[in-house]
Amino acid sequence: MPEILSLNSVTFSYTPDDTESRNAVENVSFAVQEGEWIAIVGHNGSGKSTIAKLMNGLLFPQQGDVRILRQILNEENLWDSRSQMGMVFQNPDNQFVGATVQDDVAFALENNGVPFEEMVKRVHAALEQVKMGSFLDHEPHHLSGGQKQRVAIAGALALKPKLLILDEATSMLDPQGRAEVLQTVQTLRAETGLTVLSITHDLEEAMLADRVLFMNDGKKFAEGTPAEIFAFGDKLVELGLDLPFAMKLSKLLQKEGVPLMGQHMTEEELVNDLWTSNFNK
Ligand SMILES: Nc1ncnc2c1ncn2[C@@H]1O[C@H](COP(=O)(O)OP(=O)(O)OP(=O)(O)O)[C@@H](O)[C@H]1O
């Protein structure tokens, strides 16, 4: 599988001259291969946003390097590299630049000099992909948070990026909006094989990824499949993460003496186990 992005032994400090302060990111390495969904999780201040800024060249590492399509990111190839990455940020209200949904998605294409006919095609196709095709002339302030984020995803997709980066893109949404956005990303992956990197403090979101990078105090604490990461159990809570609802409930039930086996990452797993243990009584 071709490599889309990698961080190679990256260290970054906001105060490099201060030997007392810890590095915001320390000796972090990981790679994203084409078609994968990688989630980066960690407590507040664990280095997630700094990694996002290093990936899009807002910051450059003091040690190590960041590679986009195997090219070391530098001042010269910054704009080319950025054009390979579509980013969706946390606040749905800060991302709208157009007066209508279609203007908004068209904005970056126009700036990139995409010819009008091609632009119209791409805007329509991208909005269809996020199931917002019937909202072309809607004004942003009439949309829900989840719809706004789906339009933001369409804006990123219209530029045909190699990688979609979701930077806490669901953290300001209500449960329905979150579910909508995550469903959109799952469908896109199933239909187009899109490569996704999501930065999140939400373990339920991370559970959907192929691989999870678990950050603690600027260092990579662990990397593995969601099941491997969830196997850390109480350590996750100790390092500042909020467990998914099903895991919390499963723990509480086990504490109360309900016969259940091990960890339950999803409500479905928990319900199945509850059924089985009751049925076998
Ligand atoms: N502009 C800055 N100047 C100085 N230190 C900073 C700056 N931004 C972040 N830091 C520090 O760098 C470390 C990593 O912060 P970072 O924002 O990358 O973490 P995070 O995991 O994204 O946290 P959050 O979820 O709160 O955004 C923290 O110790 C933080 O205080």
Q: What is the 3-state secondary structure (H, E, C) of 165-211?
A: EEECCCCCCCHHHHHHHHHHHHHHHHHHCCCEEEEECEHHHHCCCCE
Strand 63-68 to 3-12 pairing:
antiparallel
CA-to-CA distance for 219 and 208, rounded, in angstroms? Answer: 23
Distance 106 CA to ligand 1 centre (A): 33
From the CB of 92, is ligand 1 less than 6 Å away?
no
From the CB of 49, is ligand 1 less than 6 Å away?
yes
- One-letter amino acid of 66: V
* Nearest atom (ligand 1) to Cα of 46: 21
* Nearest atom (ligand 1) to Cα of 49: 22
| Contact (CB, 8 A) for 172 and 207 | no
- For the packed helices 145-158 and 175-192, what is the interaxial angle rounded to 10 degrees? 30
Distance 177 CA to ligand 1 centre (A): 26
pLDDT score, position 145: 94
What residue owns the CA closest to ligand 1's atom 31? 45
- One-letter amino acid of 53: K
237 or 277, higher pLDDT? 237
* Residues with Cβ within 8 Å of residue 112, at least 6 apart in sequence: 83, 159
What residue owns the CA closest to ligand 1's atom 25? 44
From the CB of 200, is ligand 1 less than 6 Å away?
no
| Contact (CB, 8 A) for 12 and 61 | yes
Q: Is the dihedral of CA 99, 150, 80, 30 positive or negative?
A: positive
pLDDT score, position 280: 65
248 or 83, higher pLDDT? 83
Side by side, the strands of the sheet bearing 71-72 are 25-33, 3-12, 63-68, 71-72
CA-to-CA distance for 191 and 245, rounded, in angstroms? Answer: 29
User: CB 85: neighbour CB atoms within 10 A?
Assistant: 21
Tens of pLDDT along 4-60?
999 999 999 999 998 888 999 999 999 999 999 999 999 999 999 999 999 999 999
Least confidently predicted of 82-91, 148-157, 197-206, 235-244: 235-244
Alpha-carbon 214 to chain mean position: 13
Tens of pLDDT along 224-275?
999 999 888 889 989 988 888 888 888 888 888 888 877 787 888 888 888 8
Tens of pLDDT along 121-139?
999 999 999 999 999 999 9
| Contact (CB, 8 A) for 207 and 226 | yes
User: Is the whole model's pTM more than 0.95, yes or no?
Assistant: no
CA-to-CA distance for 271 and 245, rounded, in angstroms? Answer: 13
> Is this complex's ipTM strictly greater than 0.95?
yes
* Nearest atom (ligand 1) to Cα of 215: 21
Q: Which of 104, 54, 62, 43 is nearest to 81 (CA)?
A: 54
CA-to-CA distance for 249 and 226, rounded, in angstroms? Answer: 18
Average the pLDDT over 102-107 and give the result: 94
